[in-house]
Amino acid sequence: AVKPHPRKKKPKYDLPVPSIHNRSPANNGGQPCKKHELYVSFSDLGWKDWVLAPTGYSAYYCDGECFYPLGSCMNATNHAVIQQVVHLMKPDDVPKACCAPTKLSPISVLFYDDNNNVILKKHRNMVVKTCGC
């Protein structure tokens, strides 16, 4: 059981604050932590003349809440489970576990250099494979 913080005043109104980033559960329906679509388009950046392939790639991003108890669908690490429990005991001291990539994969980019030579480079950690808490 967590004792209420003696000095902390109970906020009068807890209206959810509308903002893009820290969306409160009110408007994203308390979505659990998961992978979301994010496409990076090289052609939108005006690079079609020198990037041979790909024209863009799905980079994805992780977003959502790490609710307690962290279900197996949230792909939570043991560390996150512990952090979550401690957060419940001391919400002001320890933040909630956060939703982040747990597996990333590379992409290969094929492009021309200034001398029309063709270069194929592999770049690591460019695509989110799995998210978790």
Residues in the site for another protein, rule: CB under 8 A? 18, 20, 23, 26-27, 40, 44-47, 49-50, 52-54, 100-126, 129-130
Which C-beta is closer to another protein: that of 89 or that of 110?
110
Closer residue to another protein (CB): 60 or 84: 60
Min separation Cβ 9 and another protein, Å: 25
Shortest spacing between CB 13 and another protein, in angstroms = 14
Secondary structure (DSSP) of 62-111:
EE-B-PSS--GGGT--HHHHHHHHHHHH-TTTSPPP--EEEEEEEEEEEE
Cβ proximity to another protein, 90 vs 123, nearer residue:
123
Say which DSSP state 15 is in: P
What the block records as the tokens of 71 is: 């279900």
Helix or strand holding residue 13 (H, E): none
